[in-house]
Amino acid sequence: MNLDREYTCADLCKILDAKCENSNDYIFTTISTLTNPISKSLGFVSCDETSQDISKFSGLIVPNNFTANTKTSVPLFKTDNVMHSLSNLLNISQETSGYFLSEDFFNVTLGSNVSIGKNCILYPGVFLNHNTIIGDNVIIHPNAVIGSDGFGLYKINDNWEKIPHIGSVIIENNVEIGSSTTIDRGLIDSTILKKNCKIDNLVHIAHNVVIGENTAIAACTGIAGSSLVGNNCTIGGGVGINGHIDICDDVHIHGMTTVTKSIKEKGQYASAMTADNVRNWRKNQVIFRNLKKK
Amino acid sequence: MNLDREYTCADLCKILDAKCENSNDYIFTTISTLTNPISKSLGFVSCDETSQDISKFSGLIVPNNFTANTKTSVPLFKTDNVMHSLSNLLNISQETSGYFLSEDFFNVTLGSNVSIGKNCILYPGVFLNHNTIIGDNVIIHPNAVIGSDGFGLYKINDNWEKIPHIGSVIIENNVEIGSSTTIDRGLIDSTILKKNCKIDNLVHIAHNVVIGENTAIAACTGIAGSSLVGNNCTIGGGVGINGHIDICDDVHIHGMTTVTKSIKEKGQYASAMTADNVRNWRKNQVIFRNLKKK
Amino acid sequence: MNLDREYTCADLCKILDAKCENSNDYIFTTISTLTNPISKSLGFVSCDETSQDISKFSGLIVPNNFTANTKTSVPLFKTDNVMHSLSNLLNISQETSGYFLSEDFFNVTLGSNVSIGKNCILYPGVFLNHNTIIGDNVIIHPNAVIGSDGFGLYKINDNWEKIPHIGSVIIENNVEIGSSTTIDRGLIDSTILKKNCKIDNLVHIAHNVVIGENTAIAACTGIAGSSLVGNNCTIGGGVGINGHIDICDDVHIHGMTTVTKSIKEKGQYASAMTADNVRNWRKNQVIFRNLKKK
């Protein structure tokens, strides 16, 4: 990938907030990855060691404690936080090279009485229902639906009836919501996404759910009605969380986990079986189903 | 949440179809929940007992057999069906207060030869392909896609080819379809959602599936091609149902269940393991995988 | 379903590339299925035998080795590939009868510098971000989102920060992408869908994933960042694949499987427990959780 302009080692030290080992006169014009290294480009390594080939790069952004697997004489830009340094460079590069997605898109539906803060980006196909409140610096990706009716049903004479939902959705500052994610409005109270929480694509957040500050939720996860997720949690992809569940702060849930009870202690949780070849899987299924007979 | 106007105990008895115990002269102007009680508001309790604090409320909608956990002198509106009573009140309140989502939205795509019944609400971003048939009182939430091609493939010389789908989708009366849900059209016969079935957000219903009357399906569930789901079933969130499966009436499937065989007896079914801490989960996985060796 | 015109046995032999046994003078005007047979219509059977009633049909498209369960005197159109023959007929029939979905739809969002090949169909609500590259004969169903930001986060002082994604998405020839599917763009390299791969509805493909040629992925599946899926794989519905996983060619993954490690040998893989009645399931859950104590 071409950078927006030529960068010297000194330029990079400044932008990356890095100290340069083996500094030289090379001029960087491209950036690439360990997976697809481009000859003479700038690369980056996130960990202190790597077994991958770094010989193609003319420079590398690395952690302070990085040790090269082979002796290298190219500039090493040593930094406290490789991803942050990389982010700084990419931000500059895309702003001036036209990659940045500005607000020049259209086709957003806003209900009445919607409040939107400063510096928000709403992509096409986004739907914000009546009374939705959006804080500052919020990004909502294409086709996300915010404030649709909760799936609130009750029965009369054994037939489903719909209960009207008059609560709304509150999205606090610095929240990001992925493509085609759906966040339902509350019955009477609001559904709330607290500040700096990050929601991936195709996530379902039901009525009256509250997601804590700085919590990240990966794609294809569903959280049923009235559940509360704490602060600083990470929830993997494909997870299912029952309704009326409380999850405390600092909980990390592996992908594809089923959560049916409240989690009261911080830590890591999981439940999904992992892939095996079909023959073993079939045998173990049968044995498992017969365990109860023993 | 503010109500649209002032309500006396007598007004509420009428709207809620309730008998009032401890009736008094209080005028209700707000409604709130046990989770976030507002001082002097009207509250509601769905069960016959509650351990939660009801002291803030100036009145409560409760079941006929409700017993307060502490002696209370506030009006108790006793009713056969709390959710129905609440629904009646919310319907009135939102109609006059502007919460009601009317048909003033735009941006729906209709193919040719689409038939739509009376009193339907189609939200923005909804796509109805050619020949789709929609009954009366149907609600389709934003970005739902109805009648897209089924995922019908076959192989020639080991390469996937697409088979055209000329069936359509039939949505009967009183069906509700959630945001970003996708319902594919049939190959030759139609995909059918029978009357009063209720589908949540991000659900996938494949070609030639038939969903029975009054069946409810929670979010993030996928039903593969040609499966038949009976009447009065409830299917939890994140469920996966294989293709060419028959599920009889009155079946209740827990969230995150995998259904690979037809279900011929009514009852409750489940399959997902539930969350454990990662250490236990890892140990049990290893033991499970080695069951076959014993 | 009515065909677009009258077809004789000779017409059908030509269109279906079939040899006709028991040819007669009957004129076919409708087609129907074994599930909902229409009297005197043309039917089709994909396997060499069937226990279903074929007596209503006035003709059948069948495999070369087909044997009827009861003696039948109606025309049998024998062909090497029933689905291909059927496909040919349906293609002709829908083109002339107006079922064909042409490019007369609208409401697609294109970023800058997007390249689109020949004979593509983009349905309403589709979003293609800046720099997306689309090959020839690509079909993208309604509300699919291509090229949205990857879910790339890192932490500074324990708070999530967003890393800009400047990679793009490359969709090769003959790819089909289902409704409301999301395909994120890469961080620096591109996310790639290789030729003839087929993606169903509500699938999530994260940043820097590469999907191999002629691979099919069923609905509701999620593939996390930087994973590589080989050629000629089939991935069932509701599958979850961790990030940074390699899956080799010719791998078949059952629906609802959780993949947490690379798969290096071709074959079939599975992991999900399958539905049991709740009583058994509860007992076995308890036993499973206690396996480690034995």
**Which tens digits make up the pLDDT trace of B185-230?**
999 999 999 999 999 999 999 999 999 999 999 999 999 999 999 9
> Average pLDDT of A137-166?
93
Is A176 in CB contact (< 8 Å) with chain C?
A: yes
> Average pLDDT of C31-54?
92
Contact present, B196 and A159 (Cβ < 8 Å)? yes
Q: Are residues B33 and B120 in the same domain?
A: no
Q: Are residues B42 and B64 in the same domain?
A: yes
The lowest-confidence range among A126-135, B96-105, C11-20 is B96-105
Q: Are residues A70 and A172 in the same domain?
A: no
User: Which has more pLDDT, B293 or C290?
Assistant: C290
Question: Which amino acid does the sequence have at A47?
Answer: C
Q: Is residue B153 part of a domain?
A: yes
* pLDDT bracket for residue A91 (50, 70, 90): confident
Q: Which residue in the block uniquely carries the two structure tokens 């016959």?
A: B48
- Number of inter-chain CB pairs under 8 A, A vs B: 198
> Average pLDDT of A130-139?
93
* pLDDT bracket for residue A288 (50, 70, 90): confident
Indicate yes or no: CB of B260 within 8 angstroms of CB of C275.
yes
* Best residue in B107, B123, B145, B291 for a mutation probing chain C (most C CBs within 10 Å): B145
User: Which has more pLDDT, B105 or C38?
Assistant: C38
Q: Are residues A88 and A119 in the same domain?
A: no
Q: Are residues C143 and C21 in the same domain?
A: no
* pLDDT bracket for residue A107 (50, 70, 90): confident
pLDDT of residue C97: 40
* pLDDT bracket for residue C294 (50, 70, 90): low
pLDDT of residue C293: 66
Q: Which residue in the block uniquely carries the two structure tokens 């923005």?
A: B124
Q: Are residues C180 and C67 in the same domain?
A: no
* pLDDT bracket for residue A293 (50, 70, 90): low
Q: Does the pLDDT at position A176 exceed 70? A: yes
Q: CA of C95 to nearest chain A CA: how many angstroms apart? A: 30
Contact present, B196 and B217 (Cβ < 8 Å)? no
Long-range contacts of B259-265 (CB under 8 A, 24+ apart): B259/C274, B259/C275, B260/C255, B260/C274, B260/C275, B261/C274, B261/C275, B263/C275
pLDDT of residue B97: 40
Is C166 in CB contact (< 8 Å) with chain B?
A: no
Q: Does the pLDDT at position B104 exceed 60? A: no
Q: Which residue in the block uniquely carries the two structure tokens 């006169």?
A: A25
Q: Are residues C159 and C216 in the same domain?
A: yes
Q: Are residues B147 and B251 in the same domain?
A: yes
Pairing of strands B176-177, B198-199: parallel
Q: CA of A6 to nearest chain C CA: how many angstroms apart? A: 17
Contact present, B152 and B163 (Cβ < 8 Å)? yes
Final residue belonging to a domain, choices B97, B130, B163: B97
* pLDDT bracket for residue A100 (50, 70, 90): very low
Q: Say how far apart CA A285 and CA C271 lie, in whole Å.
A: 9
Question: Does this model's pTM top 0.90?
Answer: yes
Q: Are residues B92 and B114 in the same domain?
A: no
Domain assignment of residue B23, given as a range: 2-97
Q: Say how far apart CA A121 and CA C152 lie, in whole Å.
A: 17
* pLDDT bracket for residue C101 (50, 70, 90): very low
* pLDDT bracket for residue B98 (50, 70, 90): very low
Q: Does the pLDDT at position A66 exceed 70? A: yes
Choose the most confident range, by mean pLDDT, from A96-110, A232-246, C51-65.
A232-246
* pLDDT bracket for residue B70 (50, 70, 90): confident
> Average pLDDT of A29-44?
94
* pLDDT bracket for residue B96 (50, 70, 90): very low
* pLDDT bracket for residue C107 (50, 70, 90): confident
Indicate yes or no: CB of B142 within 8 angstroms of CB of A161.
no
**Which tens digits make up the pLDDT trace of B131-171?**
999 999 999 999 999 999 989 999 999 999 999 888 999 99
Mean pLDDT score of chain C, rounded to an integer? 92
Q: Is residue A253 part of a domain?
A: yes
Q: Is residue C281 part of a domain?
A: no
- Contacts with A, C 9-68, CB within 8 Å: none
Question: Residue C34 burial by CB count (10 A; 0-12/13-18/19+): exposed, middle or buried?
Answer: middle
* pLDDT bracket for residue C176 (50, 70, 90): very high
Please confirm, yes or no, whether C207 is among the known catalytic residues.
yes
Contact present, A255 and A219 (Cβ < 8 Å)? no
Q: Is the ipTM of this complex over 0.95?
A: no
- Contacts with B, A 207-236, CB within 8 Å: 208, 220-222, 224, 226
Q: Does the pLDDT at position A275 exceed 60? A: yes
Q: Does the pLDDT at position A97 exceed 50? A: no
Cα separation values, B29 from B26, B62, B91, Å = 10, 18, 15
* Best residue in B38, B109, B138, B143 for a mutation probing chain A (most A CBs within 10 Å): B143
Contact partners of C by the rule of 3+ C-beta pairs under 8 A?
A, B
Q: Which residue in the block uniquely carries the two structure tokens 């599975």?
A: C270
Q: Say how far apart CA C168 and CA C150 lie, in whole Å.
A: 10
Q: Does the pLDDT at position A164 exceed 50? A: yes
Q: What percent of chain A has pLDDT over 70?
A: 95
Report the Cα B190 to chain-centroid distance in Å. Answer: 23
Is A286 in CB contact (< 8 Å) with chain C?
A: no
Question: Residue C286 burial by CB count (10 A; 0-12/13-18/19+): exposed, middle or buried?
Answer: exposed
> Average pLDDT of C80-99?
78
> Average pLDDT of A119-138?
92
Q: Is residue C288 part of a domain?
A: no
Catalytic residue among C130, C204, C207, C244: C207
Nearest CA-CA partner of C216 in C253, C183, C243: C253
Work out the widest C-alpha separation in chain A, in whole angstroms.
Answer: 81
Report the run of H or E that residue C117 belongs to, with start and end: none
* Other beta carbons less than 10 A from residue A47's beta carbon: 10
> Average pLDDT of A41-61?
93
Mean pLDDT score of chain B, rounded to an integer? 92
Residue B279, sorted as left (phi over 0), alpha (psi -120 to 50) or beta, turns out to be alpha
Q: Is residue C28 part of a domain?
A: yes
* pLDDT bracket for residue B251 (50, 70, 90): very high
Long-range contacts of B228-231 (CB under 8 A, 24+ apart): B231/B194
Contacts of B14 (CB under 8 A, 6+ apart): none
Q: Are residues B29 and B140 in the same domain?
A: no
> Average pLDDT of C127-135?
93
* pLDDT bracket for residue B124 (50, 70, 90): very high
Question: What does the CA dihedral A284, C221, A206, A131 come to, rounded to 10 degrees?
Answer: 170
Q: CA of A131 to nearest chain B CA: how many angstroms apart? A: 8
Q: What percent of chain B has pLDDT over 70?
A: 95
Q: Is residue B279 part of a domain?
A: no
Q: Does the pLDDT at position B54 exceed 50? A: yes
Q: Does the pLDDT at position C98 exceed 90? A: no
CATH at C131: 2.160.10.10
User: Which has more pLDDT, B287 or B75?
Assistant: B75
Query: How is the beta sheet containing B76-79 ordered, strand by strand?
Result: B19-21, B76-79, B59-63, B42-44
SS3 assignment, position C154: strand
Final residue belonging to a domain, choices A97, A124, A145: A97
Q: Say how far apart CA A94 and CA A91 lie, in whole Å.
A: 5
pLDDT of residue B107: 84
Nearest to C124 among B127, B180, B222 (CB): B127
pLDDT of residue C4: 85
Q: DSSP H helical segments within chain C, as ranges?
A: 9-16, 82-97, 278-290
* pLDDT bracket for residue C102 (50, 70, 90): very low
Q: What percent of chain C has pLDDT over 70?
A: 95
**Which tens digits make up the pLDDT trace of C210-260?**
999 999 999 999 999 999 999 999 999 999 999 999 999 999 999 999 999
Q: Does the pLDDT at position A114 exceed 50? A: yes
Choose the most confident range, by mean pLDDT, from A69-83, A154-168, C205-219.
C205-219
The lowest-confidence range among A149-153, A259-263, B210-214, B240-244 is A149-153
Cα separation values, A49 from A43, A70, A205, A221, C224, Å = 14, 10, 39, 33, 24
Nearest CA-CA partner of C94 in B148, B128, B163, B155: B163
Is B285 in CB contact (< 8 Å) with chain C?
A: no
Q: Are residues B122 and B265 in the same domain?
A: yes
Is C111 in CB contact (< 8 Å) with chain A?
A: yes
Q: Does the pLDDT at position C163 exceed 60? A: yes
Q: Is residue A283 part of a domain?
A: no
Indicate yes or no: CB of B153 within 8 angstroms of CB of C198.
yes
**DSSP secondary structure, chain B, as one string:** -EEEEEE-HHHHHHHHT-EEES--S--EEEB--SSSPPTT-EEE--SS---S--TT-SEEEEETT---SS---S-EEEES-HHHHHHHHHHHHHHHHT----S-----EE-TT-EE-TT-EE-TT-EE-TT-EE-SS-EE-TT-EEEEPP--EEEETTEEEEPP----EEE-TT-EE-TT-EEEPPSSS-EEE-TT-EE-TT-EE-TT-EE-TT-EE-TT-EE-TT-EE-TT-EE-TT-EE-TT-EE-TTEEE-TT-EE-S-B-S-EEEE-----EEHHHHHHHHHHHHTGGG-
Catalytic residue among B207, B244, B252, B254: B207
The length of chain B is 294
Please compute Rg for chain B using Cα positions. 24
Nearest CA-CA partner of B86 in B138, B29, B45: B45
Query: How is the beta sheet containing A76-79 ordered, strand by strand?
Result: A19-21, A76-79, A59-63, A42-44
- Here the tokens at position B178 are 């959630």
End-to-end alpha carbon distance in chain B:
61
CATH at B77: 3.40.1390.10
Contact present, B124 and B114 (Cβ < 8 Å)? no
For chain C, the domain total comes to 2
The lowest-confidence range among B161-165, C171-175, C207-211 is B161-165
Question: Residue A46 burial by CB count (10 A; 0-12/13-18/19+): exposed, middle or buried?
Answer: middle
Nearest CA-CA partner of C53 in C43, C64, C66, C63: C43
Q: Does the pLDDT at position A188 exceed 80? A: yes
Q: Is residue B89 part of a domain?
A: yes
Contact present, C142 and B149 (Cβ < 8 Å)? no
What angle separates helix A278-290 from helix B278-289, to the nearest 10 degrees?
Answer: 100
Q: CA of B262 to nearest chain C CA: how many angstroms apart? A: 10
* pLDDT bracket for residue C92 (50, 70, 90): confident
pLDDT of residue B28: 96
Q: Are residues A173 and A235 in the same domain?
A: yes
pLDDT of residue B102: 43
> Average pLDDT of C198-213?
98
> Average pLDDT of C179-208?
97
pLDDT of residue C166: 86
Q: Which residue in the block uniquely carries the two structure tokens 């509350």?
A: A186
**Which tens digits make up the pLDDT trace of B9-47?**
999 999 999 999 999 999 999 999 999 999 999 999 999
Indicate yes or no: CB of C198 within 8 angstroms of CB of B269.
no
